[in-house]
């Protein structure tokens, strides 16, 4: 009978945005995972199946490092999303108010009793509403820029922490001391 090297693998499948696929595969490889299959992209999401030898050396430590790296990645993702969250809320509220003011001005002009005063007030309100609509995006951009400057150091330190964890995982795979 032939002597076979039988390997038992553990598998996992992760769903991610298609643009993050390469990064996710690189990060998984640092912890001993090998990408075996990429599912079809549905919208902007895709799934990747990974496998790893169950008898890999330092498995417990690799699992611990992988969990810490995943938590750090989630924190970085939350910080990235926080850059536009407040600006988006402001933009929606300010834009809705601007449209309501412009609509109020139009309503005054179209009132049942035509009057010079109503027409002038309606035109002024319409101009104010349109001006507010035009200012929404520049203000949104300034808020995003300010928030980006605030969270950039935290994002950089999070990315650095992830890189260190990936290096530690890779060192374990190469049987180096950490």
Summarize pLDDT for 12-48 with one digit per residue, the tens.
Answer: 999 988 888 899 999 999 999 999 988 777 788 899 9
Q: Report whether pLDDT(8) > 90.
A: no
**48 CB neighbour count, 10 Å cutoff:** 20
Residue predicted with more confidence, 176 or 74 = 74
CB 128 within 8 A of CB 101: yes
The pLDDT of 132-159, averaged and rounded, is: 96
Confidence category of residue 178, pLDDT binned at 50, 70, 90: very low
CB 129 within 8 A of CB 105: yes
Backbone angles phi, psi at 175, to 5 degrees: 60, 35
71-75, 111-115, 132-136, 152-156: least confidently modelled range:
111-115
Give Cα 79 distance to the centre of its chain: 8
Confidence category of residue 131, pLDDT binned at 50, 70, 90: very high
Tell me what pLDDT residue 69 has: 95
Q: Report whether pLDDT(132) > 70.
A: yes
Q: Report whether pLDDT(1) > 60.
A: no
Please give the model's pTM, rounded to 2 decimal places.
0.77
| Long-range Cβ contact pairs of 141-148 (< 8 A, separation 24 or more) | 141/87, 143/86, 143/87, 143/90, 144/83, 144/84, 144/87, 147/82, 147/83, 147/84, 147/86, 147/87, 148/83
CB 54 within 8 A of CB 33: no
């Amino acid at each position: 009978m032939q002597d076979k090297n039988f390997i038992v693998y553990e598998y996992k499948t992760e769903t991610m945005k298609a643009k993050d696929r390469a990064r996710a595969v690189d990060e998984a490889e640092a912890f001993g995972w090998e990408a075996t299959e990429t599912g079809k992209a549905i919208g902007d999401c895709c799934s990747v199946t990974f496998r790893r030898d169950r008898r890999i050396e330092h498995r417990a430590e690799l699992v611990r490092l992988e969990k810490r790296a995943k938590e750090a990645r989630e924190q970085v993702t939350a910080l990235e999303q926080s850059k536009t969250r407040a600006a988006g809320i402001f933009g929606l509220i300010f834009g809705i108010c601007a449209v309501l003011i412009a609509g109020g001005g139009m309503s005054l002009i179209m009132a049942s009793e035509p009057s010079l005063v109503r027409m002038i007030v309606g035109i002024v309100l319409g101009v104010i509403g349109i001006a507010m609509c035009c200012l929404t995006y520049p203000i949104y951009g300034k808020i995003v820029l300010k928030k980006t400057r605030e969270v950039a150091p935290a994002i950089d330190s999070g990315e650095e922490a992830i890189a260190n964890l990936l290096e530690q995982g890779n060192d374990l795979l190469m049987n180096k001391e950490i």
